[in-house]
Amino acid sequence: MLFTWSEAASRTLRLALLAAAAMNAVALILTFSRGAFVALAVVSGLYVLLRFSAKTLLVAGCAVVAALLFARGAITERLASGEGAGLDAISSGRLNGLWLPLLPEVLRHPVLGNGIGSIIWSDAMRRGAGQTMLVVTHPHNAYLQAALDMGISGLVLLCAYFVHVWKGLRALAKDPGVAPVLRGFYQGAAAGLVGMLISDFTDSSLTPRPSRPSCGSRSA
């Protein structure tokens, strides 16, 4: 919405897009999701970088100062609300409680993987669930999930697909034959894709899946 807003000629459309972007930002903040915070920061940073100007830099600076003044406590608390300390706290205990124990499972069938949803029957989960591992049905890392289920070959193919899509969006964003407002839309879509792929390091999936609530609790 930000990138489309920059290219929109209609004042009405610009106001509507700005209002929608503001509501979207508030909705993302209310989710209190670290992945959402990261994605929002990535897209906003790319907007400032790609649309660099004194005005854009001033607005971005004011937004950062406002966030530090009014939400620094909430953001800091959320970043450190996981179990343990350091990276474990930031990752909600996933580093030592999930990702590292699951890495050996990737080596069992490194090329083709262990099958869809393989975390459920993995040795690490069967032996460690309820003790040192989080009780989950998803590794909370889209790249680790792809490597577990489809192997390195599947992970490479999925990443290659997203790179292909990103290049296509970037090409459309630079195509002089495309209307300016659509060029802004495609540039924003490319930035959004980057934000999604970065936030996928802590959840989600590189393949289509049904919506589900996040789960990550230990058994009693």
Q: What's the confidence (pLDDT) of residue 37?
A: 80
Instruction: Give the C-alpha separation, 13 to 201, whole Å.
Output: 34
Expressed as residue numbers, the domain containing 180 is: 2-199
Instruction: Give the C-alpha separation, 123 to 114, whole Å.
Output: 11
Is 209 among the domain residues?
no
CB 171 within 8 A of CB 136: no
Is 212 among the domain residues?
no
Residue 14 DSSP SS3: helix
Is 109 among the domain residues?
yes
Phi first, then psi, for residue 178 (nearest 5°) are: -95, 140
Q: What's the confidence (pLDDT) of residue 220?
A: 31
pLDDT band for 127, please (50, 70, 90 cuts): confident
Least confident of 42-56, 85-99, 205-219: 205-219
DSSP string, 136-172: -SS-S-HHHHHHHHHHHHHHHHHHHHHHHHHHHHHHH
Residue 195 has pLDDT above 90, yes or no: yes
Is 218 among the domain residues?
no
DSSP string, 106-147: HTTSTTT-S-TTGGGG-HHHHHHBTTTB-B-SS-S-HHHHHH
Is 106 among the domain residues?
yes
Look up tokens 């929608």; give the residue.
20
Look up tokens 């029957």; give the residue.
121
Q: What's the confidence (pLDDT) of residue 25?
A: 80
What number is the average pLDDT over the span 187-213?
Answer: 85
Least confident of 37-41, 86-90, 184-188: 86-90
Residue 219 has pLDDT above 50, yes or no: no
Residue 36 has pLDDT above 50, yes or no: yes
Instruction: Give the C-alpha separation, 122 to 149, whole Å.
Output: 11
Q: What's the confidence (pLDDT) of residue 27?
A: 85
- The residues that bridge with 129 in the sheet, in sequence order, are 133
Exposure string of 188-203, with b = 16+ CB inside 10 Å and e = fewer, is: bbbbbbbbbbebbbbb
pLDDT band for 216, please (50, 70, 90 cuts): very low
DSSP string, 54-115: HHHHHHHHHHHHHHHHHSHHHHHHHHT-SSSSTHHHHTTTHIIIIIHHHHHHHTTSTTT-S-
Q: At what angle do helices 34-50 and 54-70 cross, to 10 degrees?
A: 160
Is 65 among the domain residues?
yes
Residue type, 90: I
Domain count, the chain: 1
**129-186, pLDDT tens digit by residue?**
555 667 778 888 999 999 999 999 999 999 999 999 999 999 999 999 999 999 999 9
What number is the average pLDDT over the span 89-102?
Answer: 76
Q: How high does pLDDT run on average in the chain?
A: 82
Is 214 among the domain residues?
no
Q: What's the confidence (pLDDT) of residue 31?
A: 79
Q: What's the confidence (pLDDT) of residue 132?
A: 61
Is 87 among the domain residues?
yes
Least confident of 9-18, 78-87, 197-206: 78-87
